[in-house]
Structure 1
């Protein structure tokens, strides 16, 4: 991928979307040709196309498949055979699906260029959102992100979730400063392997910056609700930290302690009292708007198996915060961005029409 596309922001990103969609058939044909040229000599394509890279021959001879049709190829690569079984590029890692759709995790081979493509899609999101919710560069985002434990395949390839792959990559860790993506969570807290310590530090950071937060969220609705439950159990400890300016001793991760020492720069008893007063209410209906009064929406996946969490999110926001899905993605690949992010998440339409 052209490295320049990874830098698209603002109007440049919107113009790129228009360029890609106004002649989508030509774009897709060009991409398919490039895929065939890159992967034409793989064992899988050679079996069907006998060395040809012709698009029409591909459409005629290469079948639509399910995961089980290529599972054997993937397992062979995981065991140490050549990447050329399915790709003309070197496989750098195996991505583990979340299992939220089919309920059973799968392995997907990934190449280095895949991180470029994911970053490109991420860079399209905020220019779209800013059309509907202006001023998002004037505050922070309390997005709760987590990594998961990774494994290794028999041949030593890392096997991890797509999000863990991204957060551990230089694309995330070495990203340029962007006012539209100013997170309350320090990177060290996001990258903490202990999910409880990570959650604690990220929520603490979000509370310290509560009056600067313009949007809330997590990747999945279930993760955001876990955070609310965690807050219900631990708000007293969090308030103590803010009041004293000292991090709870149960947080032992060195990187977390280091970054949180900057978040808790000094004691703030007034802020602690405000949060304590809100959290001590008998009912937590609308708690999100009380703790983060400038928040304009909640961003999370709330479709498919996540739709069951919509009533709970609406309860905690008292129905005042729109639920926003910004993109369409899976562990296998990222499909596209939502051009109408404030519409009902369960509605969908393709542009250009399929």
Structure 2
């Protein structure tokens, strides 16, 4: 059931979307039937179904699994000929996850047909975006893109991040002319050289830029931080027409020089005062005046960057187009110009066979785990854990994402991504999920904004070395006026600790107040740039720059060492939160 889509055919694309979402149940059943028939002889499915391709038998006999449950099958694919272990299709490569969401890197099988399905998704999404976003075809995107080194497994398969695979594909090569970054700069494995050259090309072509961004909001903010450090050198390159000597990648250098061309003192004189301004508020609008939106995922763990993105972009719309992972592409945002808090993704029934485990807001199953419901049977307002079955050998695979149903588009449900199931803080009976931590930090950081500071990033860990154990939050701060961080008022920072605790749930507050099983919450302020060093650590361990997300709960001793070495202030909650149930 391979579908094709011409992203320039608005009428045809609209009809496809309507057909797939209106006939969601039929499409889902057809997808599952095709998966079971095609893969019935694989080692994995045969062990449960013995050749049976019936849906009822599938849901009764095939267990729901997590990565650890199928890891030994993946390792066999990595180390030996992967003949029909998980899928009957020929595995062409493996996609590696970043490892920062759930704490471990994963490898997912990929086939030629899977890449065609993802290409269809991208083309259909592109058509949807063109209907909603003026200027998508008129100018270029200043979009920051990076690749990671590939490895070849003992079985001869290439393993690489999904975005690296995409950027090296023929599909991307056909569309890369729509970006200010030359293809050679994206293919540069030296991230620093790549970032410098992409930003330089973006500045030179500033009048052609209609949208800016990066895959994740954090990635785009990395670009802003880079500008803060390198803008004098970038301006000098523009003024003289000479590229810095430390850009040594030959292909990258040649591509940039063809754009840099001659000395351009007029452009240098124009942008230099923008960088020298007292505040960088609205710097994106000033540098790229024709920009209509920021294109970056800002949902889930990325939502904490919304306020600082607003600060730098001058209030440009923040567009989160798609919901996808290394395991599967899921759906896209049919209302891309909505507020970030209103973003819902419409799951495309064609991408995989979807099931949903009813859960509470923390991701705990309600009832028996085996009682998963189909795509069309979810209920608005309810929370679910996402489960997928794909052509590439994932069967009833628990992605670990907790979603809330916000409504339906025709018969296809729309979901708000809430958080990853396994990213939580816990000391005793408390379980603080990513969404609750984000909401608490959002309320507290308003207090430091009154001091002229911004919380640029944060993470946490449960400190169980103290008695009782307590939550530790690491906050990276910067001033709005680009000045040195002032001495922080202890009373304000203690209020921040209090506000976080007051915002956490009843179980936490009871543990703090009545049962005294949790100690006072601590905020450790770290030097500006600390979270860059944290990212460098994870990237050095194999994470992709494109896919990197700041882990909201630190599990690595090396990461904790980096954070603790850069602490410039410690503050504790001085007030015990009330623990009565709030109504």
Per the normalisation by structure 1, the TM-score is 0.93
- Is residue 336 of structure 1 aligned with residue 331 of structure 2? yes
Deviation at 1:7, TM superposition (A): 6.0
Distance change in 2, residues 1:31/1:187 (3 Å): same
- SS of equivalent to 1:138: coil
Counterpart residue number, 2:217:
221
Q: Deviations over 1:269-323 (max 9, x none)?
A: 10111111111112111101110111111111112222222221111013x2111
Q: Which runs of 5+ in 2 are unaligned?
A: 345-405, 414-583
Corresponding position: 1:236 with 2:232: yes
How many Å apart are 1:108 and its aligned residue?
Answer: 0.9
Larger CA Rg, structure 1 vs 2? 2
* C-alpha separation in 2, matches of 1:167 and 1:27: 30
1:273 counterpart = 2:269: yes
Q: Deviations over 1:172-229 (max 9, x none)?
A: 22x268xxx7111111111111111110111011101111111110001111111101
Q: Distance in 1 between matches of 2:52 and 2:324?
A: 31
Look up the match of 1:283: 279
State the partner residue of 2:505.
Answer: none
- Determine if contact 2:22/2:412 at 8 Å carries over to the other structure: no
- Tell whether the 8 Å contact from 1:124 to 1:337 is kept in structure 2 after alignment: no
C-alpha RMSD over aligned residues: 1.8
Relative to structure 1, is the Cα distance of residues 255 and 99 closer, same or farther in structure 2, using a 3 angstrom cutoff? same
Count residues with an aligned counterpart: 349
Check 1:35–1:246 CA distance in 2 against 1; reply closer, same or farther (3 A cut): same
**Aligned mate of 1:185, from 155, 177, 181:** 181
In 1, Cα distance between the equivalents of 2:171 and 2:138? 23
Contact 1:115/1:171 (<8 A) preserved: no
Task: Note the C-alpha offset of 1:105.
Answer: 1.4
Q: Is the 8 A contact 2:135 2:292 kept in 1?
A: no
CA contact (8 A) 2:93 2:158 kept: yes
Residue aligning to 2:70: 70
Higher strand share: 2
1:305 and 1:196 map into 2 onto residues whose CA distance is 25
Residue of 281, 304, 324 corresponding to 1:308: 304
Q: 2:340 aligns with which of 333, 338, 345?
A: 345
Query: What's the CA shift for 1:253?
Result: 0.6
Match status 1:82 vs 2:77: no
Equivalent position of 1:248 in the other structure: 244
Aligned equivalent of 1:140: 140
TM-score (norm 2): 0.58
Q: Which runs of 5+ in 1 are unaligned?
A: none
Structure 1 counterpart of 2:35: 35
Q: Secondary structure of the residue that 1:137 maps to in structure 2?
A: coil
Could you say which structure has the higher helix fraction? 1
Q: How is 1:153-168 mapped onto 2 (pairs within 5 angstroms)?
A: 153-168=153-168
Larger relative contact order, structure 1 or 2 (CA cutoff 8 Å, min sep 6): 1
Q: Residues 297 and 10 of structure 1: is their aligned pair in 2 closer, same or farther, counting only changes over 3 Å?
A: same
Query: Which stretch of the first structure deviates more once superposed, 341-350 or 50-59?
Result: 341-350
